[in-house]
């Protein structure tokens, strides 16, 4: 936890009580929570926090690479990027189960294509969608 707060400081951001509360809440989940679930957790210690504030903090932390936002049709979930490590996710379209996958399939070809069009790529994100082992068996 302290390491994450340190990352924030190193990037030139103050560790405000709200940011700390959001990160602490995120750290307390065994699974990847939605913004709503985070709100409920943060409100235990900061009852005045709004969903808007949660989203604002999450988008700022996502931009800094401290939080990963994982897109799901049933609602996005958030992961604390403990080591700031870039990776992708497998998302079950049925139950929403989300697993980290430690490879990145993006190669320099994209960079070159983008540069032809005058773009400089600064980042990317995507998820792999499918069925988890549980949902596949239940079929």
**Binding flags for Zn ion, 82-111, as an x/- string (CB under 5 A):** ----------x-xx-x--x---x-x-----
Residue 126 CB, nearest approach to Zn ion (Å): 8
Quick check: 19 and 8 in contact, CB under 8 A? yes
Quick check: 75 and 34 in contact, CB under 8 A? yes
Closer CB to Zn ion, residue 43 or residue 94?
Answer: 94
How many chain residues interact with Zn ion (CB under 5 A)?
10
Binding part of the chain for Zn ion, among 6-14, 38-46, 58-66, 129-137 by CB under 5 A, reads 129-137
What are the start-end ranges of the H helices in the chain?
A: 2-10, 17-28, 35-43, 51-63, 108-116, 133-137
Q: Which one of residues 60, 64, 90, 135 is an interface residue with Zn ion (CB under 5 A)?
A: 135
**Rounded CA separation 74/95 (Å):** 9
Q: Which of 25, 52, 53 is nearest to 38 (CA)?
A: 25
Q: Rule CB under 5 A: which residues touch Zn ion?
A: 79, 92, 94-95, 97, 100, 104, 106, 132, 135
């Amino acid at each position: 936890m302290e390491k994450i707060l340190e990352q924030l400081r190193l990037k030139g951001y103050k560790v405000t009580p709200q940011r700390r509360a959001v990160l602490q809440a995120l750290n307390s989940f065994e699974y990847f929570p939605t913004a709503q679930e985070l709100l409920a957790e943060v409100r235990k210690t900061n009852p005045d926090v709004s969903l808007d504030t949660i989203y604002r903090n999450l988008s700022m932390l996502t931009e800094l690479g401290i939080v990963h936002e994982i897109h799901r049709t049933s609602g996005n979930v958030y992961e604390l990027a403990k080591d700031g490590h870039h990776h992708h996710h497998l998302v079950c379209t049925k139950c929403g189960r989300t697993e980290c996958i430690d490879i990145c399939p993006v190669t320099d070809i994209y960079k070159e294509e983008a540069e032809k069009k005058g773009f400089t790529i600064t980042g990317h994100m995507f998820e792999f969608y499918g069925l988890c082992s549980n949902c596949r068996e239940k079929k």
